[in-house]
Structure 1
Amino acid sequence: MTTNIMLAGVGGQGTVLASKLIAQSAMNHGQNARTAETIGMAQRGGCVVSHVRIGEELHSPMIPQGSADLLIGFEPAEAVRCLPYLREGGTVVVSSKAIKPVTASLSGSDYNGAEMLAFLKQQVEKLIVVDGEGICAQCGSAKVLNVALLGAAAASGVLGLTLEQLLETIRQRIPERFLDSNLKALSAGAKAATGE
């Protein structure tokens, strides 16, 4: 059995690191994992999409459209953009905080993500909306959104990894000075998903 996980965000949100944490956690526990990024303009504000596949028979790291079990959206519009990859009955974990794209800033249009979240609520049966901004404020760092979303994904049961497995990998991969805020974010994300 293969688990397909897509992560969609913008440059600077830690999307690639999150995909590496998922893959490393799987490999630490004897599973095969393949990853690929379609980064494009990954400077701050550009689209970043990571594909993570975990399972036995993995011939390609790329997730075919309509077959992602889990879509982790670091930003509402990016989650909507990648929705065609989600399989029927798949789960979406998304941060409620919108990041205004450069094009919207230049055109003067107003984008706050509410329309995108409303669209996701209409289209997705299993939707977990996480107050990423609130969790980051609570943890004292804007850079822990990625780990908070991983916590929510693990708590949802769809990620195929436990919080303990992610915790072990975070301790291995995250520098000591950032460890405390990331551990808090993992826990807060899990609580957001379970409604605690």
Structure 2
Amino acid sequence: MRDNGTKNILLVGVGGQGTILASKILSEGLLRRGYDVKMSEIHGMSQRGGSVSTHVRYGEKVASPVVPEGCADVLVAFEKAEAARWLHYLKKDGALVVNDFEIYSLPVLTGAAEYPEGIIERLKEKVQKIKCVDAARLAEELGNIRAQNVVLLGALVKALGLEGPDWKSVIKETVPAKLLDLNLKAFDAGLSQ
């Protein structure tokens, strides 16, 4: 289900984690590298901590913005339970970049459900190319946990083999000036993973 060598990336997380901002930086960076890029956002009660997914497809000529199930070259999960929830989108030899981070849903917080145990271990049994990143810890060490999205973006860029100076200029043009230094450091932290 690929057209003209199109690459498929799915970014998933929980509302408020910065999934969409990371996707916008990714899309702009890919456009500047000369790719045709299509992006589609899906918000599922994102303001209340619900699932958020962003499909990014790039290549010579991209027809649709939606990544078909089983066709994602890379799945980036901003929260580990979301990795398990969206894993069926990853193709057999695809790569998984997963944030080793937990966000508890309302049923878990109220005691009506339990957060699943051993998610990372189960993911490692199913996916050969997996990169676990403690993006929240890295972002906190830099001064703000909210920068974990840009840490994960750096890890994704490395996984795609698309390192280069263009990314920092896109970040400079996208994030507020007061958060620029933090986000540039967060991107570098992700690249080093």
Structure 1 residues 178 and 44, CA, compared in 2 at 3 Å: closer, same or farther? Answer: farther
Alpha-carbon shift at residue 57 of structure 1 (Å): 2.6
AA in 2 matched with 1:81: R
AA in 2 matched with 1:142: I
Note if 1:155 corresponds to 2:153. Answer: no
TM-score by length of 2: 0.93
| Matched position secondary structure for 2:118 | helix
Alpha-carbon shift at residue 14 of structure 1 (Å): 0.4
TM-score by length of 1: 0.91
Structure 1 residues 2 and 170, CA, compared in 2 at 3 Å: closer, same or farther? Answer: same
Note if 1:40 corresponds to 2:44. Answer: yes
Distance in 2, Cα, partners of 1:44 & 1:178: 24
Q: Is the 8 A contact 1:151 1:163 kept in 2?
A: no
Q: Is the 8 A contact 1:39 1:49 kept in 2?
A: yes
Note if 1:181 corresponds to 2:185. Answer: no
Q: Is the 8 A contact 1:32 1:54 kept in 2?
A: yes
Note if 1:133 corresponds to 2:133. Answer: no
AA in 2 matched with 1:93: V
Identity of aligned residues (%): 40
Distance in 2, Cα, partners of 1:61 & 1:23: 11
Distance in 1, Cα, partners of 2:7 & 2:180: 27
Alpha-carbon shift at residue 108 of structure 1 (Å): 4.8
Aligned residues between the structures: 189
> What is the match of residue 69 of structure 1?
73
Q: Which runs of 5+ in 1 are unaligned?
A: none
Note if 1:80 corresponds to 2:81. Answer: no
Q: Which runs of 5+ in 2 are unaligned?
A: none
Distance in 1, Cα, partners of 2:164 & 2:54: 21
| Matched position secondary structure for 1:66 | coil
> What is the match of residue 14 of structure 2?
10
Structure 1 residues 9 and 163, CA, compared in 2 at 3 Å: closer, same or farther? Answer: farther
Q: Which whole-Å deviations, capped at 9, do the CAs of 1:125-159 have from their partners, x for residues lacking one?
A: 00000012211111101111110001111122x2x
Distance in 2, Cα, partners of 1:131 & 1:44: 23
1:121 to 79, 102, 124: 124
Q: Is the 8 A contact 2:154 2:187 kept in 1?
A: yes
AA in 2 matched with 1:37: E
Q: Is the 8 A contact 1:91 1:125 kept in 2?
A: yes
Distance in 2, Cα, partners of 1:4 & 1:82: 14
